Structure 1
Amino acid sequence: MQPFIAAMLKVRQAFYAAIIRSLLRTKSVLQTILNIWIAPSIIKNKNVDQNGDIGGGKKKMYAEFITNVETAFGESREKSRLVALSDGLRAQFGESLLDNPMNMLPSYNHQLPTGDECGTYLALDVGGSTFRVALIELSGRGCVGQETTILKIDSYKILGAVRQLKGVLFFDWMAERISQTLSGQDEGHDMSSAPLSMGMSWSFPIEQTSLRSGLLLGMGKGFLAAHGLLGKDLGDIIQDSCSRKGLNVQLNAIVNDSSATLLSKAYLDQTTRFALIVGTGLNAAVHLPVHMFSPPKFGVRPDSWHDAAKHVIVNTELSMFGAGILPETKWDERLRASHPMPDFQPMEYFVSGGYLGEIVRLVLVDGIQTAGFFGGIVPPSLREQYSLDTETISHIESDQSTSLSSARKIFLSRHPTSYPPTQEDMQAIRLIASHITYRASGILAAGTHALWQLRNEAESIPADESSHTLVAYNGSVLENYPGFRATCQEQLDALVEATGAKRGVVELMYAEESSLLGAAVAVACSSG
């Protein structure tokens, strides 16, 4: 009996081995099994033919899904909807001018530069990952092409160890870096001469109490600099650290990034009245008459400020607007559903570089799971939130070749998968990204148009009598994302025309080195 059982086992093993060899020779069968197992929607739609390939059925599903994406995001292309969005945003701006403590915040900068300011200034730019120090010479608009000169500039990485510096230790670190930049510059060390006037662009929250001071608030992003210093005057803290280092400098202005951008371009062109920051985040500044604000919006300010201020540069905190009126899709709802602060910055979730890639990821994963993109297999990395960044999709959109080989190479280097994307898959990603970013540029155009109309109404300027106005901008999305600035300008032109003004009357213009130049200009204005 035992020999018989052993013989039967050998026959069974040989039979199984033959099946496995056959399957290995027929890779398409294995692939089909994997696809069916991972994407049961393919069974439901009966898109697998007898050879294991996905043919006409797949193309139909692709086309239907892309059509749904076009429909969902295409509504924002309609001029009438953009006009309605602009009107809705303008109403929200108006309400916030009266009683919202979180946005439409009047700064202490009430003067725009004349363009005649001259002098040498020290400018600081404190960001989340970099501290920059520059010595800047302002020569005035009369020196065409040489209005501003960066005499010296240094950039210092703010690494983890620096973020961990507590309290004054962080500001002492800043003073040490300032000393390094000024090394060899007599203006920085000669204690017998007048102090070198200094301005700072500060990218963290403060409760500003004057042009050169503000109460320090929690910085976030892993910084411990506010430890033991919460509520202390930021200007005094920095001044004290510089004095301990023996630096003959004097901090005379603190500005945020949007105000700095507006000031930097206004120094070069007197028609500048707005500024946009569109990078990882979103913000805007606008120059408005003070009569538009309710008195509580100004807090406690000296009578001398109110006597001098007829207009004021406003930090709009644009990211916070748009609740209830933005063109939301089911994918936007999914993004907000998993966000720790789903209602905090509605417009930022639609427009900024911190979220554009995530919206594309959500749409793409949906297409993989329901329409068979990528053979129905979600690349492991794309299962993680925010794993598809805006830089990656910008590379994909910039590849205009038919094969999309460059885009495919970049995508696979960052998101390897067992089912490499086909040319059709890459075309789908590019189409999805283009619809999402076009919508973003339209929303940004509507927000800019709303601010322009708000100012026109405040100044009693009819639309058809509007003069040419510049909107200074910077930030990685407007600067680098392929076609973004152009499509934003195109939609802004359409909105301006719909209002009755001439096409091109509101123009987006790049503001180079705006944080540093704006800090220097703020000081020059204060001492003029």
Structure 2
Amino acid sequence: MELSAREYTVLAAAAGFCSVAGVGYLIQREYRRWRVLSAHMAQYYADFSLSPSQLMDLRNDFIEEARKGLRGEKSTCLMAPTMVDILPDGDEVGEYFALDIGGTNFRVIHVTLSMDKGEVVHVEMEDNAIPEEYFTCHGDMLFDLLASALVDFAKRHGRHSDDRPLPIGFCFSFPCTHTAIGEAVMVKLTKKFENEGMVGQDPAKGLQRALDRQKGNFKVAALINDSVGTLAGGCYVDADTKIGVILGTGTNACYAEQRSNIAALAKGRKNGREQQHPLMAINTEWGNFAAPSSPFTDIDRELDEETPNAGSHRFEKMVSGMYLGELARRAILRLAEQAQLFGPEVPPQLREPWALTSAALSKIDEDGSWLLSTTARELSETLGLPAALCTHTTCLRVKQVCHLVARRSAAVVAACLAGLLQQIDRDGAHTPMAPTTIAVDGGLFEHYQAYRAYLREYLDQMLGKQVSSLVKIVQIRDASSMGAAYLAAAIDEETQ
């Protein structure tokens, strides 16, 4: 049956109308999607960006929590006296050892310190994996493992002493209550460790007994954690160092406080030597800091509730390298679910917890390519997203989310650093500003150049350019290990 010319005209008009209507529908749908996506992004910018007044409120709340901790009152910041009241100054000379344990590996280190101030002649370092059975064995066996490795290491490198015990610094990054510079009581085991005979005991004495069993002529001179090691490491290379910070998988800070301000220092706790110094290193344990001004979002709460230590260490969960990638993933997932960031379907890989690492986040944030090709590659490699889903618009939104999460981390760290600087009168408010150095260790700070710039930017903003120009933020690599050795040297020289 043939159609008439009039019928052809009607059909053509109808087809044209449907085509126009279809295009109109698609445009309308994309416009609605764009509006929803823009609204979500606007909320993210509001939630993750901190105004100058918010930063000041956070700084003030941190100072209040810190001072409560120093007074021995209930506080989210432990402010634990480390009993370390002598720090290296770069004049230490000689050969010293250190042991560093805190995760799935332990490190043995030997340093030779030069007569030139702050110079290291030689470093020998050896990392050892902890065999699986040592995570559940008796504590004595674990200490025997450490002692045996140290004694063997010293023998292989021709380092031994027949006359006097060689001082060693012991970096033991587990919760302890310190009673002297080389004495402590272990509070609890963390990470994978489930060893009997350790909680309630002195880890320094445990290591010393193991060294004696190995016939090693060593003496445990100092027991510290990684934040104290960072402070000590900074002091050795720069006498103006007043604060040590860990910015890696976790976060913490240690600083030199006036002994007179430490009301929490219990009677009978001593530095282990006759001489008392006016300053003592304080372990803030700021990872647990919490205050009404903390910029804790719904996404933070969601993540916190799904962690084994829900309700605690919320500051660390906003800041550290362990959590930044996961925070960004959850924020991106919301955009995918509620604003169709990747289209009608949510990529299944995006639902996998911890699929987006902080290393990937840093690469995405630092992506300066015109087409955001690095972002597209990271989405493909880490989340398995097909190239068709990694459009420029999608990559731009992902990059913005990563940027916001990272900047907030740097902002809250800067606020707390400003609080510590005020606490030690290094903010120029009451006395002329003196050169001050903040030593930092950790992969987040070391490998993430943009993060370092954000931290500097926020500190400049809070202190003012004139004061901030006198505050250096320096990276100290292997700080916990090197700092333990430097501290052993400082104690050894004072007691000779």
On whether the aligned pair clears a TM of 0.5, the verdict is yes
Q: 2:70 aligns with which of 54, 79, 97?
A: 97
Distance 1:280 1:303 in 2: 31
Residue 110 of structure 2 corresponds to which residue in structure 1? 135
Residue identity opposite 1:79 in structure 2: P
Residue 213 of structure 1 corresponds to which residue in structure 2? 183
1:334 equivalenced with 2:302 (yes/no): yes
Which residues in structure 2 correspond to 1:276-287 (within 5 Å)? 276-287=245-256
Contact 2:179 2:270 in 1 (8 A): no
Residue 31 of structure 1 corresponds to which residue in structure 2? none
Deviations 1:302-360 (A, max 9, x none): 49768613110100111121322212222223223434434321311211112211221
Contact 1:214 1:234 in 2 (8 A): yes
Deviations 1:250-281 (A, max 9, x none): 11111111111111111121111011111111
What's the CA shift for 1:205?
1.7
Q: 1:168 aligns with which of 140, 144, 147?
A: 140
CA spacing shift, 1:114–1:482, aligned 2, 3 Å? closer
Q: Which runs of 5+ in 1 are unaligned?
A: 1-45
Contact 2:58 2:293 in 1 (8 A): yes
What's the CA shift for 1:382?
2.8
CA spacing shift, 1:270–1:497, aligned 2, 3 Å? same
Residue 81 of structure 1 corresponds to which residue in structure 2? 54
Residue 423 of structure 1 corresponds to which residue in structure 2? 392
Q: What SS does the aligned partner of 1:456 have?
A: coil
C-alpha RMSD over aligned residues = 2.6
Q: What SS does the aligned partner of 1:171 have?
A: helix
CA spacing shift, 1:229–1:512, aligned 2, 3 Å? closer
Distance 1:58 1:435 in 2: 22
Q: What SS does the aligned partner of 2:379 have?
A: helix
Residue 271 of structure 1 corresponds to which residue in structure 2? 240
1:195 equivalenced with 2:170 (yes/no): no
Which residues in structure 2 correspond to 1:106-185 (within 5 Å)? 106-140=81-115, 142-143=116-117, 147-185=119-157
Among all aligned residue pairs of Structure 1 and Structure 2, give the percentage whose two residues are the same amino acid: 25
Contact 1:48 1:55 in 2 (8 A): no
Distance 1:494 1:448 in 2: 12
Residue identity opposite 1:443 in structure 2: V
Q: 1:363 aligns with which of 331, 353, 358?
A: 331
Q: Which runs of 5+ in 2 are unaligned?
A: 1-20
What's the CA shift for 1:468?
1.3
Residue 19 of structure 1 corresponds to which residue in structure 2? none
Contact 1:58 1:371 in 2 (8 A): yes
What's the CA shift for 1:48?
9.1
Residue 318 of structure 2 corresponds to which residue in structure 1? 350
What's the CA shift for 1:476?
1.3
Distance 1:256 1:299 in 2: 23
Residue identity opposite 2:147 in structure 1: A
Distance 2:229 2:285 in 1: 14
Q: Count the aligned residue pairs.
A: 470
Distance 1:205 1:92 in 2: 19
Residue identity opposite 1:187 in structure 2: R
Deviations 1:463-522 (A, max 9, x none): 461111000001111111241111111110111128xx5232222111122112210121
TM-score of the superposition, structure 2-length normalised? 0.88
Which residues in structure 2 correspond to 1:294-313 (within 5 Å)? 294=263, 296-298=264-266, 300-302=268-270, 308-313=276-281
Residue identity opposite 1:268 in structure 2: V
Contact 2:134 2:141 in 1 (8 A): no
Which residues in structure 2 correspond to 1:239-250 (within 5 Å)? 239-250=208-219
Distance 2:356 2:39 in 1: 24
1:486 equivalenced with 2:453 (yes/no): yes
CA spacing shift, 1:159–1:55, aligned 2, 3 Å? farther
Distance 1:167 1:417 in 2: 46
Q: What SS does the aligned partner of 2:71 have?
A: helix
Residue 486 of structure 2 corresponds to which residue in structure 1? 521
Contact 1:85 1:325 in 2 (8 A): yes
TM-score of the superposition, structure 1-length normalised? 0.83
Residue identity opposite 1:497 in structure 2: G
Residue 454 of structure 1 corresponds to which residue in structure 2? 423
CA spacing shift, 1:302–1:90, aligned 2, 3 Å? closer
Distance 2:355 2:168 in 1: 40
1:223 equivalenced with 2:193 (yes/no): yes
CA spacing shift, 1:135–1:421, aligned 2, 3 Å? same
Residue 258 of structure 2 corresponds to which residue in structure 1? 289
Contact 2:305 2:311 in 1 (8 A): no
1:402 equivalenced with 2:370 (yes/no): yes
Distance 1:502 1:126 in 2: 37
Residue 30 of structure 1 corresponds to which residue in structure 2? none
What's the CA shift for 1:53?
11
CA spacing shift, 1:494–1:183, aligned 2, 3 Å? same
Contact 2:171 2:484 in 1 (8 A): yes
